[in-house]
Structures are given as C-alpha cells and as structure tokens.
Amino acid sequence: MSLSWSAATDNFAVTRYIVIRDGEQIQTHVTARHASDKPGAGTHIYTVRAADAAGNVGPASPRASITIH
C-alpha cells in the first residue's frame, strides 16, 4: 500500500518524516513525502510527524484510517 502526505514546513527545515501505524512508529527516517507499508487485515490508523534539522519533532498529522480485508 502506498502512503503520501503534504509537505510540512519549519523554520529549521524539515529533514525527515516519521510514519506511525496504530500508535507505533513503523518508519522513522523517511526523507520523501511518501512511503509504503504492508499491514495485515483489519482497520489501521496512520499519522505522520515531521522532524527538523534541529532535532525537533512536530505534532502528529490528522489521522487517516484504512481497512484491509
């Protein structure tokens, strides 16, 4: 499954994104605005957080839900 999101902005420049599925970080050094995942069956909640060059991590994005049958 392909995931994508809008760019985040920051005064220290966003350097990576953290992809979270069901409350757990599944990818922590995503440098593009897209990622892939292969979750099992069920309903899953995704969020993304941006991290900047100074090491600050922003708040989570709005939640996105997907159901895999």
Full domain range(s) for residue 63: 2-68
Total Cβ atoms within 10 A of residue 22: 12
pLDDT the model gives residue 35: 97
pTM metric for this prediction: 0.93
Residue 11 has pLDDT above 90, yes or no: no
Specify burial of residue 40 (Cβ count, 10 A radius: 0-12, 13-18, 19+).
exposed
Q: Give the total number of structural domains in the chain.
A: 1
CATH number of the domain within which 20 lies? 2.60.40.10
pLDDT the model gives residue 15: 95
